[in-house]
Amino acid sequence: MGTHGPLIPTYSGRLDKKIVRIREFMGRNMKALNTTLLAAGLTVLATAAFAQSLDDLKNDASTPEDILTYGMGYDLKRHSPLDQINRETVKRLVPVWSYSLADNRGQESFPIIHDGVMYVTTHAATMALDALSGRQIWKTTVDYPAETPRVACCGIVNRGVAIHEGKLYRTTLDAHVVALDAATGAEIWKSKAIDFKAGYSFTVAPLIANGVLITGISGGEYGIRGFIDGWDLESGERLWRTYTIPGAGEKHSDTWPGDTAKTGGAPAWLTGSYDPELDLVYWGTGNPGPWNAEFRKGDNLYASSVLAMRPKTGEIVWHFQFSPNDPYDYDATNDLVIADLAIDGAMRKVIMQANRNGYFYVIDRTSGEFLKGNAFERVTWADGLDPKTGRPIESELTKKIRAGEKIEIWPSAFGGKNWSPMAFNPTTGHAYANTLHIGWTYKQVEPQYRAGVFYFGAEFAWVWPKGARGYLRAIDPLTGKAKWEQPSDIPRMAGVLSTAGNLIFTGRMTGEFEAFDIETGDALWVFQTGSGIVGQPVTWEAEGKQYVTVVNGGGAVYALFSGDERLASTPPGGSVWTFALMDE
């Protein structure tokens, strides 16, 4: 089983024109050139047209004609300097093309764009599209064993590719990493991370940092031992593996009693950020397992933490743990946004995270020092954070749960914010996030481990509020307070995009793609895409025109676990939608 070859391979419109011009030149001046050399020359041309360097990746946030990194820049700000589409013009925003992904799973892919070609993924395929027309250039399918989806906890999804020097890199559900030729879709290499049968999987978009391809494993609900891998870009050889749970005798192994570390979870299923100046990758880790925290007394490092790592070696330079001995599935895998903020009269290099546990954290990214932490959603599991260390001050409710009682707790395992990435606008100084307003009743029970089977050790049921289940919020990172909020009865689970046009873009699980005024939160524009949006909007420009792209296709964690019957009227089926302004 593996990656199939490309279907109907061809070249992009821009590359077609370049090849035609080279052929005309050769025809006029080099008629004696033999056919073999001509073919070789065209191959070199195709490779050159798709090449880009590590410097290009570093500069991605300042080159809006390309999108070369997950999050529109290593800093994961998801903010664009483009302003052609703005508060005044957004009313003229219309679709210019749509491409069917031919897949009914939830779609969370982040589009990558280079040299006029857009690359998107599903769990089952990688596609190259002409960015201006939506025409398919090639499609390479992915096969994996039929039993693989049983170890995918929260949706059969894939979040996209990484790109470098004419190659694309993606992960597969059965825990492989694949390199493809960006021009043709042909497989270059394929490497196995681990046997998926024990509960391991990949959904992550890889990160390329300082010449190393980095991936994080999924499977926190299955009693895995989490890890982050570094891979050689050319050969697919694994260069290093950093376990997110220390082995016996290693530093912090004493935070796990007995042999609980062997099945302790701590997955790493969302893409990290990277500071090239400090040469540090920031990668979040997920919940410890089982959920029953009394079974694994101790802080359980490095679960529910951020790791600052050297990309060349995987060395952990520092760590910060958000939720020690977490009982509530409060993954810390959410996006770690890089920014420089004025705090207490001094500029600080920080990372920010709206954590599942309901607190918004600001941490010094050079040292891991806790700077700020405030609730941005309803929180009852803790009474606050220690102002010096950031360690949670557990509430009486959590103490009762640890004593074996059944108690209502906020937020639920869905979190105050789930995976859906937020945006940060450096001009307004606010983060824009889709937050969740859902509680649960919770009681710890005896856990039972079986490889490849859910490993909870808890009984729980959702507690639904009478009103909105979620809010799009403009959050002050230093206080956690919202400047404005837009409620939604069915919570939004899509990513958020900020632009210099003073707009915020996001989507609903009922299919609406939306634009809001960044200052007031007023809804300015909406378009019904026909299926739920849990994907990640991006914006880019070509030939002087600004475009906005989003992948739709309902599904994933809320749809799977909420039992929300209102979603039954929103059909599945993924597509790529691209929009631009119509002429006045």
Q: Is the pLDDT of residue 2 over 90?
A: no
Helix axes 35-49, 13-29, angle to 10 degrees: 140
Strand order of the sheet with strand 162-164? 162-164, 167-171, 176-181, 187-192
Query: Does the pTM of the predicted model rise above 0.75?
Result: yes
Whether the pLDDT of residue 235 is over 70: the answer is yes
Give 52's pLDDT tier (boundaries 50, 70, 90).
Answer: confident
Whether the predicted pLDDT of 228 surpasses 80:
yes
125: Cβ contacts below 8 Å, ≥ 6 apart: 101, 102, 103, 139, 140, 141, 142
Whether residue 282 is predicted with pLDDT greater than 60 in this model: the reply is yes
At residue 470, the 3 state secondary structure works out as strand
Ordered alpha helix ranges (H), 30-157: 35-49, 54-58
CA distances from 328 to 221, 265, 380, 444, 451 (A): 12, 13, 12, 10, 21
**Any idea of the CA torsion for 105, 286, 375, 415, to the nearest 10 degrees?**
30
Query: What pLDDT was estimated at residue 48?
Result: 42
Average pLDDT of span 84-109: 98
Band (pLDDT 50/70/90 cuts) for residue 4 is low
Of the candidates 181, 329, 331, 476, the residue annotated as catalytic is 329
Tell me: the pLDDT tens digits for 370-395?
999 999 999 999 999 999 999 999 99
Q: Given pLDDT bands bounded at 50, 70 and 90, which one contains residue 7?
A: low
pLDDT exceeds cutoff 90 at 245: yes
Q: Over 60: is that where the pLDDT of 18 sits?
A: no
Whether 36 has a pLDDT exceeding 50, the answer reads: no
In the chain, the domains with their CATH numbers are 3-581 (2.140.10.10)
3-state secondary structure of 546: strand
Among 44, 206, 37, CA closest to 119:
206
CA dihedral sign, ordered 121, 122, 128, 134: negative
Q: What is the pLDDT of residue 556?
A: 85
Which tens digits make up the pLDDT trace of 167-192? Answer: 999 999 999 999 999 999 999 999 99
Could you read off the pLDDT of 501-537 as tens digits, one per residue? 999 999 999 999 999 999 999 999 999 999 999 999 9
The pLDDT score that the predictor gives to residue 323 is: 98
The pLDDT of residue 6 is: 62
**CA distance linking residue 228 with residue 215, whole number of Å:** 6
- Reading the block at residue 90, the tokens are 């957004």
User: Between 296 and 452, whose confidence is greater?
Assistant: 296
Q: Which amino acid is at 153?
A: C
Say whether 174 is catalytic. Answer: no
What integer pLDDT is reported at residue 51 of this predicted model? 55
Mean pLDDT of the chain: 92
Q: Give residues with Cβ within 8 angstroms of 530, minimum separation 6.
A: 511, 552, 571, 573, 575
Contacts of 62 (CB under 8 A, 6+ apart): 81
- Residue 352: CB partners within 8 Å, gap ≥ 6? 336, 337, 339, 360, 361, 362, 363, 424, 431, 477
The span from the CA of 150 to the CA of 153, in Å, is 8
pLDDT at 50 (0 to 100): 53
Distance CA 581, CA 171 (A): 35
User: How would residue 194 be classed by pLDDT, with cut points 50, 70 and 90?
Assistant: very high
pLDDT at 88 over 90: yes
C-alpha 360/C-alpha 403 separation (Å) is 28
